[in-house]
Structure formats: structure tokens, C-alpha cells
């Protein structure tokens, strides 16, 4: 394991959503349009020790990152123990040593975990006019989170939320291929791996915009450019089924 600083500071109040409704409302307040996919773990945490609870949290993070390897990169994380006794934030994470960082944080905790939230950078793909047969891989900073909740008064829930930017009908410099047509199959593959790794089927599919057509494994069709979130007073409805550049900054 890498040699890290062992003094983990308590940063005081960290505004971490305590449920999916809060997570989507937060995105709406920030005027971000996201889709979210998740499932209940159906555990009885009252029968689990602190060590067992925290190992479970680590396993969920491991399963997710393994399934989405190559598509997401951890940027920073927020960790909160039960009843917010301890709140920790780690920034500028190194993807190669991230799990070591998380293990170190957990090693210094005496309380059971309540929330782990990962803020993620996305790895997307596009085609260029001059070489349309080869995909160009790039990393962008778009709203993307993986959150795990659990505790004595919960049964465990985890969700992955992501911006629609790589799954829209946007075209770049006259390119005929939609971003959605390139990135959605990769997202679907990762979602299915996540189900296999976790042993749970994605059962909760939500978004915070009527412009998103979502299904169990991603975006059913391209979202329109300029999709808008619901108003802050309207609850999202459940659908049927370095400087890292923003997508708009790319000059392809």
C-alpha cells in the first residue's frame, strides 16, 4: 500500500445528499440535467458490526469502479459516518491509488459509515472528420456521482448519476455520428457489468428532466441539446423504463 498521511482532518459540515430525491434536487438547483440508476441492497445493518458495515461500503465502491473501468475516473470523495459524527473530504485523487486512499480513511474510523460519495470525471468518445473510423478518447468534467448509503435505519441504496452531455443529439463540426450512438453502448455495457459485479439488478431509474428518455441501462435515445431540468419546486417523475475541458470547449 502506498505511504499516505495518516492524519485525516474532520472538515465540519459537508453538504452530501442523504437520498436520491436530495441528489436530484441538488442537480436541479445547480441547473444540471442528469439521469440516475440505482438499486436497494436490502441489508439489515443492525445485525452488522462496524467492521462488517465498512467492508460492505468498500466492496460497493470496488464493484462500481471495476464495472466502469475506463469510463469514469475518481476526482474526489466525501465520507460521512453514521449520524454525521465524522465527515471527511479528499480531493485531487490519484486514480491509481484511490482505493488505497479509501482504505486509509476507513482504517482511521471508529464509527460505521453512512455515506460515501465519489465525484467522477467522465471518459467519452467521439469521431473526427479526418479519421472517422477511429474513436477519439477524451476526459471531461461533467456532473457525475456514485453514492452509497447505508446504516441502522436504512437497508442500503446506491446510485450512479451522470450528465446527458455525452448522450445528446449534439454533433461536432458537421460530424454525422451522434455522440449518443458512440457512448451509449459503452454505458450500457458498464451498467450490465455493475449489475453482475454487485449481484443486484438496477431497479430505480430516475432523471430530473422531462427531456431525458431513460431505461434500465442508460439513455434510450439521444437527449436534445439544451435539455432543461425540472423547476426547483417540481419533483422529478420516474420514467417508464489540470483543467479538463468541457464538451463545449472541444474544437473538433
Give tens-digit pLDDT for 141-196: 889 999 999 988 888 899 999 999 889 887 655 555 668 888 999 999 999 999 99
Q: In this structure, what DSSP letter does residue 185 have?
A: H
- pLDDT of the residue at 170: 73
* Strand ranges, E, within the chain: 34-40, 72-81, 87-90, 113-127, 135-140, 144-149, 157-163, 204-207, 214-215, 218-219
Candidate from 13-17, 90-94, 127-131 with smallest mean pLDDT:
13-17
- pLDDT of the residue at 124: 86
pTM summary value: 0.81
pLDDT digits (tens, 9 = 90+) for 131-140: 767 777 888 8
pLDDT digits (tens, 9 = 90+) for 23-62: 888 888 888 889 999 999 998 988 999 899 999 999 999 9
By three-state DSSP, how is residue 2 classified?
Answer: coil
If one counts every other C-beta atom within 10 angstroms of the C-beta of residue 76, the result is: 14
pLDDT digits (tens, 9 = 90+) for 73-90: 998 889 998 877 788 888
Counting Cα atoms < 13 Å in the Cβ hemisphere of 217 gives 17
Amino acid at each position: 500500500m502506498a505511504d499516505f498521511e495518516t492524519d485525516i482532518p474532520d472538515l465540519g459540515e459537508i453538504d452530501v445528499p442523504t437520498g436520491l430525491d436530495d441528489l436530484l434536487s441538488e442537480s436541479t438547483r445547480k441547473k444540471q440535467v442528469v439521469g440516475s440508476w440505482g438499486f436497494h441492497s436490502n441489508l439489515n445493518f443492525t445485525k452488522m458490526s462496524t467492521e462488517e458495515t465498512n467492508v460492505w461500503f468498500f466492496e460497493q465502491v470496488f464493484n462500481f469502479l471495476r464495472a466502469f473501468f475506463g469510463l469514469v475516473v475518481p476526482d474526489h470523495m466525501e465520507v460521512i459516518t453514521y449520524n454525521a459524527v465524522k465527515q471527511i473530504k479528499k480531493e485531487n485523487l490519484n486514480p491509481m491509488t484511490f482505493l488505497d486512499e479509501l482504505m486509509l480513511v476507513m482504517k482511521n474510523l471508529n464509527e460505521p459509515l453512512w455515506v460515501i460519495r465519489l465525484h467522477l470525471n467522465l471518459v467519452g468518445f467521439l469521431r473526427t472528420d479526418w479519421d472517422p473510423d477511429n474513436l477519439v478518447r477524451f476526459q471531461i468534467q461533467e456532473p457525475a456521482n456514485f453514492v452509497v448509503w447505508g446504516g441502522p435505519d436504512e437497508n442500503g441504496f446506491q446510485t450512479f448519476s451522470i450528465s446527458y452531455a455525452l448522450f445528446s443529439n449534439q454533433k461536432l463540426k458537421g460530424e454525422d455520428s451522434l455522440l449518443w450512438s458512440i457512448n451509449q453502448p459503452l454505458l450500457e455495457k458498464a451498467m450490465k457489468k455493475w449489475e453482475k459485479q454487485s449481484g443486484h439488478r438496477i431497479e430505480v431509474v430516475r432523471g430530473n428532466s422531462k427531456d431525458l428518455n431513460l431505461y434500465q441501462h442508460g439513455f434510450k435515445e439521444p437527449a436534445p441539446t439544451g435539455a432543461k431540468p425540472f423547476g426547483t419546486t417540481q419533483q422529478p417523475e420516474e420514467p417508464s423504463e489540470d483543467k479538463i475541458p468541457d464538451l463545449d470547449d472541444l474544437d473538433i
